[in-house]
Structures are given as structure tokens and as C-alpha cells.
Amino acid sequence: MKFLHLVWAAMTRRTGRTVLTLIAAAAAFALFGLLQTVDAAFAAVGQSIPAARRLVAVSSSRGQGLPLSLYGQIGMRR
């Protein structure tokens, strides 16, 4: 509270910068709220689908390359 008068003076000196800062902060909070809503909606849809109907894709190669026999079939050079 000691420097409140300095903060107030800086805010009123450049009103354009102050307005743009407030708009940016409001936009950030609005985007955060919207993304939280989207996340909650996706989570609700995920909970409503039975686990047996979900598709989980996991890479089985774990960083290994293709077998040499497949290079000819897909037209790639090794």
C-alpha cells in the first residue's frame, strides 16, 4: 500500500497501455474459462462411452525401424 499512488500515477499516465493490458488480461481469463469448459465436455463424453468401445493406439515399434522386407513393399529406399 506504500506505493499505491505510484502505481495509480503510472496507470493514468498511459491510458492506452492500461486499457490494452486490461483487455489482454480479460481475454486470457475468458480463453481459460472456455478451454476449461471444452475440457469438461470432452471428459463427460469420455465417461459416457463404455471402455470396451474406446480405441487406444499405442506404438509397438518403440523407436525401432521398419523391417527390411517392408521397404520394398512401400517403395522406400533404405
Residue-wise pLDDT tens digits, 4-30: 999 889 889 989 999 999 999 999 999
Q: What is the pTM of this model?
A: 0.54
Output Rg (C-alpha) for the chain, integer angstroms: 27
Residue 78 has pLDDT above 60, yes or no: no
Averaged confidence pLDDT in the chain? 83
For cell 525401432, name the residue: 64
Query: Does residue 74 register a pLDDT over 70?
Result: yes
Domain boundaries of the chain, sorted by first residue: 4-74
pLDDT band of residue 50 (cuts 50, 70, 90) is confident
pLDDT tens for each residue of 56-66? 666 666 667 77
Residue 59: is it exposed, middle or buried by C-beta count within 10 angstroms (0-12/13-18/19+)?
A: exposed
Provide the pLDDT for residue 10. 87
| DSSP state for residue 2 in the 8-state scheme | T
